[in-house]
Copies of this chain bind each other. A is one copy, B any other.
């Protein structure tokens, strides 16, 4: 998907090496504080003043405790956080895997790391017998909508049409928390 992808290892081994510089591993609960810093800082003010605390509350420690095997952290040589993906296997729908939250640090965007994490998650979900992946994003997050479309996700029908013609689910995650819903076959 990205020009830099050729340099990124497609090995599904985790922990392992993603590039010459970057390593990938599953998270542990002690990673929660640095993940909270990333959630506050990496989205560049998206969602206004409420955006950062909302993103932080969406990733409570439980995801690192109980869904670590389907989640990834990417670190730089100095151990700082470069990217992450938090996902799980649906316990209600045996066909579905779900990507809850993913992000790449501002300096690392367009380097193919996010796509590499998505593809690792797809491979892992397939191994677990899943046939589709779902995720959501905010209607005002145009980068995320463009990114998921490039990654092969399709937008699910909503109950209204947003500014850019995207189908929006009003109040999807609570009052005022509209969402765009994606699905991708595996």
Residues of A at the B interface (CB closer than 8 Å) are: 32-33, 36, 54, 56-58, 60-62, 65-70, 88-93, 96, 98, 100, 171-175
Contacts and interface: CB of A to CB of B under 8 A. Distances in A.
Given A57-B173, A66-B90, 16 more contacts: A32-B172, A54-B57, A57-B174, A60-B173, A65-B90, A65-B92, A65-B98, A66-B88, A66-B91, A66-B92, A66-B96, A66-B98, A67-B91, A67-B92, A69-B92, A70-B91
Contacts of A32: 172-174
A173 B67 CA distance: 15
A65 to B, nearest CB: 7
A56 B33 CA distance: 21
Nearest to A92: B68
Contact of A62 (B62, B89, B98): B98
Grouping DSSP codes into helix (H, G, I), strand (E, B) and loop, the A interface class, with mixed when no group exceeds half, is mixed
Contacts of A98: 62, 65-66
B174 A36 contact: yes
Nearest to A28: B92
A168 to B, nearest CB: 14
A60 B60 CA distance: 12
Nearest to A33: B171
A66 B69 CA distance: 17
Nearest to A91: B67
